[in-house]
A and B are shown apart, each in its own frame.
Chain A
Amino acid sequence: GNSVTQMEGPVTLSEEAFLTINCTYTATGYPSLFWYVQYPGEGLQLLLKATKADDKGSNKGFEATYRKETTSFHLEKGSVQVSDSAVYFCALSDNTDKLIFGTGTRLQVFP
């Protein structure tokens, strides 16, 4: 069945460091891919999405490119801030409203 694998956390960085959180997926067909973020004490928020191969999703300085050849959707940001500290979830949908999530990666950014 469809699944998402993302790197274990926590990821600990200093402010202004470069961030990469790896995400790979297994799916039949052409899923849509998403990154959601969960700030402490809050619900999930969509960070960015991509719906077809080679699409790049971007928002708030974060980017991820849908790579069908490597079945990956890695999240990157050039310069993280303390306010980016949160849990990040990679997810896919098989063209329904059902989301399949990865396990989440906690990011901790220190000043």
Chain B
Amino acid sequence: QKEVEQNSGPLSVPEGAIASLNCTYSDRGSQSFFWYRQYSGKSPELIMSIYSNGDKEDGRFTAQLNKASQYVSLLIRDSQPSDSATYLCAVNKEGNFNKFYFGSGTKLNVKP
């Protein structure tokens, strides 16, 4: 079983819609959760981090964490074509900043 699982997609949404990206993780000891955006040919860029259960909003992005279900999601409101990228979910275990586990990423296509 992989540490972090994501649907590879592609997920296609029309411009202006809400894009919902999901991620599950296997280790209940995971404490920190991150979402990265990676454009084709570029390196990953951190867009959200979340550490406690519930929602965290930043602009058009909302990260949701449910530790009981071992589930973390990213919602992108008012999706724009510029949001088209691969979104990577990453988790980190308590006290171990030397180990990050990445999902394989979900490719998002926002159609104009």
User: Are the chains A and B members of one assembly?
Assistant: no
The residues of B with any CB-CB pair to A shorter than 8 Å are: none
